[in-house]
Amino acid sequence: MVFASTRNKELKMSFQKALFQGLSPDGGLFYPCKMPDMTDIIKSFSENENFKNVASSVIYHLLNEDMSETDSKILAERAFPFSPKLKKINDKLHVLELYHGPSSAFKDFGASFLATSMEYFLQSNDKKAVILTATSGDTGSAVARAFYEKKNIDVVILYPKGRISPLQEKQMTTLGKNIHALEVEGSFDDCQKMVKDAFTDPELKNINLSSANSINLGRLIPQSLYYFWAVNQLKKIPEEQQVFCVPSGNFGNLTAGLYAKYWGLSIRKFIASTNQNDVIPEFLKTSVYTPRPSIQTYSNAMDVGSPSNFERMQTLYQNDVESMRKDVRGICIDDDSTLETIRKYNNEFNYEICPHTAVGLKAAEIYAQKHPFDHITVLSTAHPGKFLEVFNKAVGHDPELPLSLLELKDKTKVSEVIGNTLTDLKTILNKMYR
């Protein structure tokens, strides 16, 4: 498969080149030039096909110009020692749990595939890659775990000081070795702009920079895999009733789902559920896209006022908002409703959820009022244990923590505080890699 820039369809690259390039030289994002028809691949899956088999089949079908079928199986085996799980709430509602990986968040799928792919391609030569990534919470912790001790790869993570949960911060700042954490005195949007500007800065060309954000294809493509697995598990549900509700911040997860749909997956509609950072729901209502500074909310990993992947969405729909509306419904959920939903699922279903999952479940409830015959699958993006303060505020006690999070409590944070400009970042990078 060949990939092109969202800003110049003539600027094309292979998956391997786009993987390490991260961002297109013209500042655009890479997207698939053609939408392959994977209908026959989907039909070939058995009803209970395991995730690794689904993943390796889809990966090979997409990337067979860059890797053999055998290598795609090896890659899937190494990248995914964990799997999604489906929890049935009722006949019309399932939750797709994506937090059973090493950092307890859905971004483990993309980060682990990215790290494994990069290591795979770097094995044939002695090149070194520097992963530069911005995070509003979950990306950084997933990337840190996925790339930890990977050969020939260093990771530099930028995160907004004081705006992520203590456990998220510990996941990024306690590993050391090839993982470097930078606290930025600003917002996530500042962090993201610094990373984007670094990729196009001529003074940093000698550093082999690549990105681990969802702007990188190596993160985006594997995020489509659990849609294939989930739809296969729920294949008895008619296509015209199949709806996915996606808690959304930078919109990589939703974009991956849209690609899966256009590759032949039977999904009728997507619900883009956001917190008060509702730039995309507002666009879907008004046809006007107005990025703005992010607002701090309880669902902090979705505090994004300028979603990068909107550019890919616009390219997919050829800037036709009416076509996008046919596939995507935007719903905004406030903090009070988020707490109320965490409390409801804890009390009524004995089910512990994170604030981002709560945003998704509340949006699903709103959608279902007018669409009672649809079946909704809500993506559960993180373990509630990563958001102790919010969960405790909602229900009055802490959720049960997995061992991977319990072990972080006594570890020491190591990070460096920097300003929120490209100059601040360049100073650090030049000190580390020149």
Task: Please list the active-site residues.
Answer: 107
SS3 86: strand
Token pair, residue 217, equals 């294809």
CA angle 166, 393, 339 (to 5 degrees): 105
**Among 149, 75, 77, 146, CA closest to 117:** 75
Give the sign of the dihedral formed by CA 47, CA 52, CA 56, CA 58.
positive
Residues 181-205 as b or e (16 or more Cβ within 10 Å = b) = bbbbebbbbbbbbbbbbbbeeeebe
Token pair, residue 114, equals 């990215």
Give the sign of the dihedral formed by CA 305, CA 390, CA 164, CA 377.
negative
Give the sign of the dihedral formed by CA 284, CA 289, CA 295, CA 301.
positive
Amino acid at 399: P
Amino acid at 183: E
On whether the CB atoms of residues 224 and 257 are closer than 8 A, the answer is yes
Token pair, residue 137, equals 């919470």
CA angle 22, 25, 31 (to 5 degrees): 55
Token pair, residue 148, equals 């930890």
Q: Can you give the C-alpha Rg of the chain in angstroms?
A: 20
CA neighbours closer than 13 Å in the CB half-sphere of residue 42: 23
Token pair, residue 346, equals 């804890």
**Could you give the C-alpha distances from 206 to 124, 333, 421, in angstroms and in order?**
21, 44, 20
SS3 154: strand
β pairing state of 8-14 and 2-5: antiparallel
